[in-house]
Amino acid sequence: ATIPTRVAAGIRLALYVYEYLLHVGAQKSAQTFLSEIRWEKNITLGEPPGFLHSWWCVFWDLYCAAPDRREACEHSSEAKAFQDY
Amino acid sequence: ATIPTRVAAGIRLALYVYEYLLHVGAQKSAQTFLSEIRWEKNITLGEPPGFLHSWWCVFWDLYCAAPDRREACEHSSEAKAFQDY
Amino acid sequence: LSEYAPPPNPNSDHLVAANPFDDNYNTISY
């Protein structure tokens, strides 16, 4: 069951990285990326900044708020509360 | 505290997207990305597949194992156990 | 491309970078 999961996860990540590249203004990288992974598909983007960026900000905040890391890196009080909960 | 967190998260994401592009084999996209975001600092890579890809697969597995989604998409038994726990 | 690269032709011709937490996101079609 894990193989399809990893393949599906890989497709979704590539899609969201492509979207991220466009939303940060790296158009050439985005087009180069599509051709290097040989995706000719037409792709509909989500709203800026895109899902990867939104997800990452939450993930990184929680990652930094972990008890054994929170002294070393910035994190929000909400993330700290979530981790402590 | 959230502003520096979001700035730090944005820098980190750019770094890990660059690492992801290299580890999937999209070298041209990776170099184009660095020049488009005008990143001059040299970057030390993590082990393949890199931080972003690794955490994304964990996230996607857990996302698919959520009780209201697990019938529709593949997930690992570990992710199911974690969700049920 | 490395083993970590996505398959060259994802099964759907049209990919939508939708937020997977949106209510109308349909995991099956993706």
Say what the pTM is: 0.90
The complex's ipTM works out to 0.89
For chain A, the residues whose C-beta falls within 8 A of a C-beta of chain C are 7-8, 10-16, 18-19, 36-46, 50-51, 54
Q: Which two tokens stand for residue A24?
A: 């940060």
- At B71 the pLDDT is 85
Q: Evaluate whether A14 touches C6 at the Cβ level (below 8 Å).
A: yes
> In 3-state terms, what secondary structure has residue A43?
strand
- What distance in Å separates residue A59's CA from the closest CA in chain B? 9
A7, A10, A43 ranked by CB distance to C17: nearest: A43
Burial class (CB in 10 A: 0-12, 13-18, 19+), A50: buried
Chain A contact set for C8 (CB, 8 A): 37-39
- Residue A25 forms contact with B (CB below 8 Å): yes
Asked whether residue A78 carries a pLDDT value surpassing 60, the answer given is: yes
Q: Verify whether the Cβ–Cβ distance C4 to B73 is below 8 Å.
A: no
Q: Quick one: CA dihedral B37, B39, A28, B53, positive or negative? A: negative
* CA distance to partner chain B, nearest, from residue A56 (Å): 7
pLDDT at C29 over 90: no
Please, what's the largest Cα pairwise distance for chain C?
34
Confidence at residue A31, expressed as pLDDT on a 0 to 100 scale: 96
Report the residue of chain B nearest C28, measured CA to CA: B72
Chain C: residue whose CA lies nearest to A14:
C6
Report yes or no: B19 and B52 within 8 Å, Cβ to Cβ: yes
pLDDT at C6: 93
Query: Does A81 contact chain B (CB < 8 Å)?
Result: no
A29 half-sphere exposure, CB direction, 13 A CA radius: 29
Helix H, strand E, coil C: the string for C1-30 is CCCCCCCCCCCCCEEECCCCCCCCCCCCCC
A9-61 pLDDT per residue, tens: 999 999 999 999 999 999 999 999 999 999 987 899 999 999 999 999 999 99
Q: Are B13 and A52 in contact, with CB atoms under 8 Å apart?
A: yes
Over the stretch B10-55, which tens digit does the pLDDT of each residue have?
A: 999 999 999 999 999 999 999 999 999 999 888 999 999 999 999 9
